[in-house]
Structure 1
Amino acid sequence: MKRILATSALALSIAAAPLAAFDLSSMSDEERAAFRAEVRAYLLDNPQVIMEAVAVLEERQAAAQAAGDVALVSSHADQIFNDGFSWVGGNPEGDITLVEFVDYRCGYCRKAHDEVAELVKSDGNIKLIVKEFPILGEASVASSRFAIAMKQLHGAEAYKQAHDALITMRKDPSDATLSKLATSLGFDGDAVIARMESEEVNAELAATQQLARALQISGTPTFVMKDELLRGYLPLENMRALVADKRG
């Protein structure tokens, strides 16, 4: 109910905005009262105007957001697409680059994981870049530290294995759990755990956090495709449609 009232009040102000051309201050009290009564009566008789006004406002806000995002992506393109440390998968020479900011404890990141993998695999011409962006607490940070440590110590394929395991892990990981995971993948668990708190891992996390702030990213998953920021989960078919649109 509060949202409806707030929306209605906002729509009323929008609907009445063109009337600002009239000098209401020059009206008498009786004229102002009559004018307001007419506006109120019109809106009560035509309540759809309220939602129409809100829809117009939302469209304008979305357009302004999109334009702002294009500028943000353009001004930070090198850090987004060529930071030199984020994991790269798919087709490295693909004509479309899809960047994902991910948090392993994020339910929508988990939901998007298989769909992004299917998109990249079925398309065959998409370059995928994954950026570690843990924002949901200590378990998120530990998971990202582990994934980065695996990449730094053992390379891209080891990172991919860790990434796939972490995104499906339901319980918050402990050092023992992560060490066991590294061992199960054929690596020295103690060495990976030791690497997690290194300056090298800190530097990657800090760089991505700084980039996310610059791009005004506050949630996961967030995607970047060419010049567009896609904030939140998108179903597979929507992603495919966007890829087709970007290819023109």
Structure 2
Amino acid sequence: MTRLAPLALAAGLTLALPAQAFDVTQMNDDERAAFRAEVRSYLMENPEVILEAVNALEERNQQAQAQADVDLVKDNADAIFNDGFSWVGGNPDGDITVVEFLDYRCGYCRKAFEEVNELIADDGNIRFVVKEFPILGQASLDSSRFAVATKMVAGDEAYEMMHDALMGYNGATDEAALSRIAEGLGLDAEAIVAKLDDPAVADEIAETRRLANILKVSGTPTFVFQDQMVRGYVPLNAMEQIVEDQRGG
């Protein structure tokens, strides 16, 4: 039977029952039993209809979520793209901005790390913004605090080096261990450690948490490609397609 069958069934039932009784709440017991029997019989003969309905509902929900995300990005564009403190890499004058909420201890963030770098390097016209969003425990928070302090003390280039190092680091995250990483990068570890207790470090991370809460970001990585939010890991070819679609849109 075609997808129009449910309509035909409903029409048939409408003719078979008194007009005022097709409202299920107005049916008597016999009419309600007959209606249920007809519906059950149809579904048993055409079980694929259930799957079609589930798929249609899922698609509708996805479309609604996508539109809700577009609205969230539009309403919070300044905080997402130009908060005044998040590190900006790639091409600062790029025609597309990609934002990533990440956690240094997130396996999928690490999986995406090289692919994001490849996307930015190959494209050459992407502005890339990193949002420090430590959500996986103390080691994540320690790492983000150290990265933010590095940027405040030594600038964007130092932050980029520290960021890259932390994305591949699995060891302890106490001050001594992170200081050794800084020293290995030629940075002033003592100055960075001294900066860790500056309220500005905690404020920056807290501000990103507040933004994430508004955007309903609860996991990492989460990306924003211009006006499209993507929750979860995205392989390189998919990111390339999203960027192409954004430029074409």
- TM-score normalized by the length of structure 1: 0.89
Partner of 1:179: 179
**Aligned ranges 1:1-248 → 2 under 5 Å:** 22-248=22-248
Farther-moved stretch of structure 1 (156-165 vs 22-31): 22-31
Mapped contact 1:151–1:159 kept (Cα < 8 A): yes
One-letter amino acid of the counterpart of residue 39, structure 2: V
Max radius of gyration: which structure? 2
Distance 2:172 2:47 in 1: 49
Cα deviation 1:191-248 (Å, max 9, x = unaligned): 2122122111012111111111111111110111111111111110000000000000
Mapped contact 1:145–1:197 kept (Cα < 8 A): no
Determine helix, strand or coil for the equivalent of 1:197. coil
Determine helix, strand or coil for the equivalent of 1:230. strand
Distance 2:172 2:44 in 1: 53
Distance 2:44 2:197 in 1: 63
Cα deviation 1:156-190 (Å, max 9, x = unaligned): 11111111111111234222210111111112222
Summarize the Cα distance change of 1:25–1:163 in structure 2 as closer, same or farther, 3 Å threshold: same
Q: CA deviation at 1:51?
A: 1.2
Distance 2:173 2:214 in 1: 30
Partner of 1:5: none
Aligned length: 232
Consecutive unaligned residues of structure 1, counting only runs of 5 or more, are 1-14
What RMSD over aligned residues (CA atoms) do the two structures have, in Å? Answer: 1.7
Distance 1:34 1:221 in 2: 52
Mapped contact 1:85–1:204 kept (Cα < 8 A): yes
Q: Percent identity?
A: 57
Partner of 1:4: none
- TM-score normalized by the length of structure 2: 0.89
